Amino acid sequence: MSKKERIILWVVVGLLGVWLLVLTLMVAGELAAINAVLAGEPAASQSAVAGEPTPWWGGEAGAGQGSQSGPQVGIAGVRWLSDTLAMTVTVRSSGAGDLLYEPPVVVDEAGRVYPADGESLEAARYAFLDLVTRGQAQATLTFAGLPPEGARLTLVFNPDQQPGDLLSPRLEVPVPITAPPAVEATPTPEG
């Protein structure tokens, strides 16, 4: 091998070494960005305050919680039906978490828990399949029991999980305050 060939060989090896170094730094940066997203940290381009949920409805009543990388939930409507509470829930998701891993519950300020009805939960599971194809889903969940009038309610998805869980995140959504309709007394026939 001549001297000229050795120089060309060392230049090629040097360029390959620089290329591998640059490629390694790029991959390390991408992995750091992926870890930050998975850890729930906002990206540098986002204007969210750390620890603050980012509602996607703006400041409307019933705005849901969620981060840019996780599920975003909003309550589109609340109805009181005799001894049950029905909520229309809209979910947008860009994350991989399953909001219905555990049955959702409604909790009032006194700590009373109102469980979800099985039929509405099954219908919601089917409706949430739209998250995969459309990126948004809407379902009506029915909860057993009637909370006291004026109670502050919170809808809790996956109540026994941690908020940062990637597969089944706990998510709390404040329910807009609405009073149940006044129950009219039915007249009794006098006999």
Q: What is the pLDDT of residues 143-183, one digit of tens each?
A: 988 887 778 889 998 888 888 777 888 888 888 866 655 54
pLDDT recorded at residue 91: 85
Interval 115-120 mean pLDDT: 89
pLDDT recorded at residue 96: 63
Check if the beta carbon of residue 89 is closer than 8 Å to that of residue 76.
yes
The rounded mean pLDDT for the chain is 75
Compare 181 and 29 and report the one with higher pLDDT: 29
Label residue 100 by pLDDT band (50, 70, 90). confident
pLDDT recorded at residue 50: 35
pLDDT recorded at residue 4: 93
Label residue 84 by pLDDT band (50, 70, 90). confident
- Amino acid code (one letter) for 101: Y
Q: How many CB atoms lie within 10 A of CB 4?
A: 8
Residues 6+ apart with CB under 8 A from 76: 62, 88, 89, 90, 138
Compare 169 and 107 and report the one with higher pLDDT: 107
pLDDT recorded at residue 179: 62
Residues 6+ apart with CB under 8 A from 21: none
Check if the beta carbon of residue 127 is closer than 8 Å to that of residue 158.
no
Residue 18 pLDDT > 90: yes
